[in-house]
Amino acid sequence: LELKRMSVSREQRGRGLARALCREVLGFARARGYDAVVLSTSVVQVAAQRLYEGQGFRKVGTSYPSLLGTALNFQIFHYRCELGDGN
C-alpha cells in the first residue's frame, strides 16, 4: 500500500494528528493483508522523516526528481514499513 500526500494544517500541528493518521493507515493496511506500506518524502521534510521513522518506516532508497533536483542535491527519500512484525 502506498501512503501519498499526508498533511496536517499548520494550525493543527503538534497535537499528534499525523501520528494518529499514520497509525490508522498502518492498521488499515494490516487488516487488509498488505505486507508493507511505502511512501516518499523530500530531503527538506525533516519532521516527516522523523514521524515516519518513529512509526517503524525504514529508508530504503533515494532518488532525484529531475536534472535540476540532481544539480541542487534535492533528494527524495523512499521509505517502507513492513507489517508482518507487529510495528
Cβ(26)–Cβ(82) below 8 Å: no
Number of domains in the chain: 1
C-alpha span between 3 and 17 (Å, rounded): 15
Q: Is 87 a domain residue? A: no
Q: Which CATH number fits the domain that encloses residue 57? A: 3.40.630.30
Q: pLDDT digits over 11-51, tens only?
A: 998 999 999 999 999 999 999 999 999 999 999 999 999 99
Which residues span the domain enclosing 31?
A: 10-82
Number of helical (H) and strand (E) elements in the chain, helices listed first? 3, 3
Sheet bearing 36-42, strands edge to edge: 36-42, 76-82, 58-63
Global pTM? 0.87
Rg (CA), the chain: 14
